[in-house]
Chain A
Amino acid sequence: MKKILVIDDDPAIVAYLTSLFSDNGYEVVDAADAKEGLEAARAHKPDLITLDLEMPGEWGPRFYRKMSQDPELKNTPVIVISGLSGSQYSISKAAASVSKPFDREKLLGIVKDLLKE
C-alpha cells in the first residue's frame, strides 16, 4: 500500500485529506508542522508528501529544503497545497501545486498519476 504524508497545520484539512486518501486505498500519516513533518518523513519514508506553505514555525519551503538534503527523501514527490497567492512559484521542484479550496477529484488525479506503478 502506498503511503502519503500530509503536512498541514489546519486539523480540518488534515482530516479531510486523510479520509480522501484512505478511502482511495492509501495509507496516510500526518504532521502539523515542518519539524514534525521531517521526523515523520524520516520515520515513515512516504511515497508522496502533501505540503502546506504557511505554518507556525518553519514554512513549507524550508521543510522542502531540509528534505531535499536527505538522500533518502530527496526524490519523494511533493504536492504543495496552499491558499497563498502565487503558491505555484514557492517550490520550483514540487511535483504539483494545488490551491485551496481544491477540487478533490483533481487532487486525486494528480496523486494517482504520481503514485502509479
Chain B
Amino acid sequence: MFKHILFATSATEACDHAARVAFNLAREFGSDLTVFHVMGIPTRGFSRTMVDVRTREKVEPDEEYSAWVCEEIKTHYSRELEKVPGCDVCVAVGYPHREILRQAREKRPDLIVMGGTTGSDEDSPYRKILPGSTMLRVARAAPCPVMVVARPAASFWGGISSIVFGTDFSKASDAAFDYARELSAFVKGELHVFHAVDIQKEGIFLAQDMVDARLREAVNRMRGRYGSRMEGVDNWSVDAWEGFPPVEIVKYAREKHADAIVMAHHTRTETEEETRGVTLGSVLEQVIMRASCPVISVNRHRKTG
C-alpha cells in the first residue's frame, strides 16, 4: 500500500513535520521514498534564469546548481536520511504544483506527502493562494492520495492505527472510504466513520428537532452504506455530530486520537446540485489547516494490481 512515497517539499521549516511523517512512514513500511523539491520558477516563459524559492536569488539552474541544491536538501534532512538511506532526492524547475504532478505521473507513487504553507512569506510560490495553493492544486489532480501535514501537531507520533473517515455521502466519498478501509485493514487499526451535520443553512440555524432527525438519518445511512463493506476491519464505528463541519471533524478526530483523517477531494455532492463547480471542498481545506493529524485527500478510486 505504501510501496513508493513521494515527499514534495519546499525544503524549509514549513515542511519539517511533513518530512518526519514521510520518512517515518517509509521506514515503518519499507517504502521507496523520493524527496522532491521544485527549486524555482523561470523568470519568464522559457527563460534560462529562475528565482530560487529559498534564497530569492536569480540563478541559472544548470546541472551544477541542481547538484548543489540536492546536496543542501540532503544536509537539511541528514537526520531523517539516516532512517531511510536508499531514498532518492531530486529537484526540478517550474511551477511547484505542475512539477509535483509531473513527478507523480512519472514515478507513480502510492502516496504523496506534502507540508503546510510557508507561512507569512508573501513572495513564496508555495504560499497559500486562494482559490488554489500548491497543495490544493496537487490534491485536485493527483493520481494517488495526497497526505497533507499542515501543522506541527499533525506530525508523526508513532504511526497510523486510528483512522477517521469523514463522509458527505458523495460518490467521491465512496472512493475515500475504500481507501480508508484498505488503510485500516493494512495497519490493522481502528476505522471511525463520521458525518458532520451543518447546523446552518444560508445563515439560518436549523431547529434542533431537524438537526436531531438529520443526525439519526446520517448514522443509519453510514451503517447502511459502509457497514457491509468493512472487510478486514475488526474495530470500526459510526458517529454523527452537529455543528460547523470542518471543526466537528477535527474535534472528532481529536476525540478518537486519530493518526489520520481520510476525506474525499471532490467538486460536488450527489444530493446538492447547487454545489456543482465548487473547487476542492472548503470543508477539506479547513480540516487540513486545523487537524491535529495528517489529512489524506482522495480524489479517485485506487487502481489495484
Q: Could you list which residues of chain A lie within 8 angstroms of chain B, going by C-beta atoms?
A: 53-54, 58-62, 64-65, 68, 85-86, 89-90, 92
Instruction: Give residues of chain B (137-159) contacting chain A, Cβ–Cβ below 8 Å.
Output: 151-153, 155, 157-159
Cβ of B56 within 8 Å of any chain A Cβ, yes or no, is no
CA of A62 to CA of B257, assembled, Å:
8
Instruction: Give residues of chain B (271-298) contacting chain A, Cβ–Cβ below 8 Å.
Output: 292
Q: Nearest residue in A to B162 (C-beta to C-beta)?
A: A65
CA of A90 to CA of B254, assembled, Å:
11
Query: In angstroms, how far is the closest chain B Cβ from the Cβ of A76?
Result: 16
Q: How does the 8 Å CB contact mask read for B1-32 relative to A, with 1 for contact and 0 for none?
A: 00000000000000011000000000000000
CA of A59 to CA of B160, assembled, Å:
11
* Known A64-B257, A65-B257, A92-B292; contact A86-B158, beta-carbon cutoff 8 A: no
Query: In angstroms, how far is the closest chain B Cβ from the Cβ of A2?
Result: 27
Q: For B157, list chain A residues within 8 Å (CB).
A: 53, 59-61, 90
State whether A68 touches B151 (Cβ < 8 A): no
Q: Nearest residue in B to A68 (C-beta to C-beta)?
A: B257
Apart from A61-B158, A62-B161: 20 A-B pairs, beta carbons within 8 A? A53-B157, A58-B158, A59-B158, A60-B157, A62-B159, A64-B257, A65-B162, A65-B257, A85-B16, A85-B152, A86-B17, A86-B153, A86-B155, A89-B153, A89-B292, A90-B153, A90-B155, A90-B157, A92-B153, A92-B254
Instruction: Give residues of chain B (158-179) contacting chain A, Cβ–Cβ below 8 Å.
Output: 158-159, 161-162
Q: For A85, list chain B residues within 8 Å (CB).
A: 16, 152
CA of A52 to CA of B158, assembled, Å:
12
State whether A89 touches B158 (Cβ < 8 A): no
Subset of 18 A-B contacts with CB under 8 Å:
A53-B158, A58-B158, A59-B157, A59-B159, A60-B158, A61-B257, A62-B158, A62-B159, A64-B257, A85-B16, A85-B152, A86-B152, A86-B155, A89-B153, A89-B292, A90-B157, A92-B254, A92-B292
* Most B-side CB within 10 Å, residue of A60, A62, A86, A90: A86
Q: Nearest residue in A to B292 (C-beta to C-beta)?
A: A92
Query: In angstroms, how far is the closest chain A Cβ from the Cβ of B223?
Result: 22
Q: For B155, list chain A residues within 8 Å (CB).
A: 86, 89-90
Q: Nearest residue in B to A58 (C-beta to C-beta)?
A: B158
Query: In angstroms, how far is the closest chain A Cβ from the Cβ of B162?
Result: 7
Q: How does the 8 Å CB contact mask read for B239-261 relative to A, with 1 for contact and 0 for none?
A: 00000000000000010010000
CA of A86 to CA of B19, assembled, Å:
13
Q: For A60, list chain B residues within 8 Å (CB).
A: 157-158
* A-B pairs with lowest CB-CB distance, top 3: A59-B158, A89-B153, A86-B152
CA of A7 to CA of B161, assembled, Å:
21
CA of A62 to CA of B158, assembled, Å:
7
CA of A54 to CA of B158, assembled, Å:
7
Q: For A65, list chain B residues within 8 Å (CB).
A: 162, 257
Query: In angstroms, how far is the closest chain B Cβ from the Cβ of A100?
Result: 16
Query: In angstroms, how far is the closest chain B Cβ from the Cβ of A84?
Result: 8
* Known A65-B257, A68-B257; contact A89-B151, beta-carbon cutoff 8 A: yes
* Most A-side CB within 10 Å, residue of B151, B155, B254, B257: B257
Q: For B254, list chain A residues within 8 Å (CB).
A: 92
CA of A3 to CA of B126, assembled, Å:
50
CA of A68 to CA of B152, assembled, Å:
23
Q: For A59, list chain B residues within 8 Å (CB).
A: 157-159
Query: In angstroms, how far is the closest chain B Cβ from the Cβ of A42?
Result: 19
Q: Nearest residue in A to B153 (C-beta to C-beta)?
A: A89
Q: For B161, list chain A residues within 8 Å (CB).
A: 62
CA of A27 to CA of B135, assembled, Å:
51
CA of A89 to CA of B294, assembled, Å:
13
Query: In angstroms, how far is the closest chain B Cβ from the Cβ of A93?
Result: 8
CA of A58 to CA of B223, assembled, Å:
31
Query: In angstroms, how far is the closest chain B Cβ from the Cβ of A61?
Result: 4
